[in-house]
Structure 1
């Protein structure tokens, strides 16, 4: 489906990059809140949120930590709050669901298949590590399988989707993940409209190649037709080129420090808002308009901010 307006999602901190990689990566509750609010003011309609241990910056699933920044974001902006169900790379399914089940947000991410999720090459870059957990955390992904079985996915759909009215950012890291999603659509466990977030450039998933983007888009069109809203994120240096291509092809875009720490070659982004401003300028230069949070809610049939537990 061609986008009526382009939804900009911003992934604020994630669970991939570690504090030593950039002084601008928000890790404290106040830092995450400020960064998210600034991104929304810059034009992000959806805020994709993880939590970090305030002392160490390590990813955490504790609802008590989320509670230190979600109310601030909710009070200061109308943006859609989208919580991760991927959590951190070593978390169990129950840990990954702890915050979403408590806060019952309008949206959650939902990974559509198990995969080798490998970020171990980051551990070998010349870095002065601030915390002793960072390098082992990254190196451990050489032997890590990110678990998202059909049973796991169905359970998340039932517990969050059916019970609490949460809709999903369906994260598809490979072509097979689109077919996994089609399985759930065929069973009517997922009903349109739904957002497909195609992800490029993670080692273990589909590469950041133009041919790969074209194949993913044509497969979405064939499997889902007008039922799906399509968005793109690409890791690292491919972030802005792939987001630009997505907008040109009628899709939505995702940026944020979860996906790339940079704003240009060799230059760290100073904030999430800086990345939002950049992709917004690109989208508007193409003659397209960005979606407001209200327009994003209408396009994705979200339940509304008044129905989340904040």
Structure 2
């Protein structure tokens, strides 16, 4: 009697080898700081940087506080509106590079209002060590916040936040393939932003296609409306799924907790063997009801928590070695 054919299984590292690092307190943890982003608007916090001078200052201070990677977006200096313009990036990125040794990570996410070519414009010029890459098209919305805003600082903000309810962030499989193909030629590596379990399987698809090679950097984004929710169990699901798909020794895991979930989820991520991301792009708060006055405040806080847990903080040189980056001398910032 013929036996039914078993579905193919992904061959990865044995479980014991995968999980060995979970209890290793001597490993180094990379702190990424996302300085301003494109989702929050200035009315949400008077401390959100949007001029080139403020973005530069916040980034340099965050690096001095212990951030090994700086995740950067640009904004219109007149009103804080997200912009993809290379001429705006050039007003702060070279100065950050001169003042810090941090890895400069240029977002290819931009905003839902930008075209793909808009979002890639500066990264194509700079050819940086690292870019961010969202691993799929998705609903991405902060629109419930609009009902809680007492006033707006600039006239574009209300429509921008409310309009997210009817906007989709686009990164199709073809978009992702084209970005990987182009930026592999530059030697750029990626912060793979995975907002749900399906994004991990998309990542695995491109690993199997040979377009992504280890070590790769998975940023697990928890708590965005449209993505996986902020329940702690979901962080375990993301970690265990990545282990099953790739084998723990093939990738670096990191955690981004959105909004009020920031510090608790990134701390849990570190305990699960991961790295951490903070910054005013992800949360404008330092503690319940307390606005963060700077990105450096959030870096100082998570660094203190991690060091109290006996973890060691990675330097930029450590991060470059852990992620296989090409080095600052090979970029055109």
Question: Normalising to structure 2: TM-score of the pair?
Answer: 0.92
Q: How much has 1:122 moved relative to structure 2?
A: 1.7
Determine the structure 1 residue equivalent to 2:227. Answer: 205
Structure-2 separation of matches of 1:219 and 1:202: 19
Structure-2 separation of matches of 1:76 and 1:67: 14
Q: Deviations over 1:33-55 (max 9, x none)?
A: 00000000000000000000000
Say which SS state the counterpart of residue 110 (structure 1) adopts: strand
Structure-1 separation of matches of 2:141 and 2:269: 25
Task: Provide structure 1 residue ranges, at least 5 long, that are not aligned to the other structure.
Answer: none
8 Å Cα contact 1:26-1:35 kept in structure 2: yes
Determine the structure 1 residue equivalent to 2:127. Answer: 104
Determine the structure 1 residue equivalent to 2:266. Answer: 243
| Residue of structure 1 aligned with 2:54, choices 21, 28, 31 | 31
Q: What is the root-mean-square deviation of aligned Cα atoms in Å?
A: 0.9
Structure of higher CA gyration radius: 2
Structure-1 separation of matches of 2:150 and 2:137: 30
Q: Deviations over 1:255-275 (max 9, x none)?
A: 000000000000000100000
8 Å Cα contact 1:21-1:127 kept in structure 2: no
Say which SS state the counterpart of residue 36 (structure 1) adopts: helix
- Deviation above 6 Å: which 4+ runs of structure 1? none
Question: Normalising to structure 1: TM-score of the pair?
Answer: 0.98
Structure-2 separation of matches of 1:197 and 1:263: 21
Structure-1 separation of matches of 2:67 and 2:225: 27
Structure-1 separation of matches of 2:150 and 2:135: 33
8 Å Cα contact 1:20-1:127 kept in structure 2: no
Q: Deviations over 1:200-233 (max 9, x none)?
A: 1100000000111111110011001121100000
Structure-1 separation of matches of 2:158 and 2:188: 35
For residues 36-47 of structure 1, what are the structure 2 equivalents within 5 Å?
36-47=59-70
Determine the structure 1 residue equivalent to 2:80. Answer: 57
Structure-1 separation of matches of 2:278 and 2:173: 28
Q: How many residues align?
A: 309
Say which SS state the counterpart of residue 57 (structure 1) adopts: coil
Determine the structure 2 residue equivalent to 1:268. Answer: 291
Q: Which moved more, 1:295-304 or 1:124-133?
A: 124-133
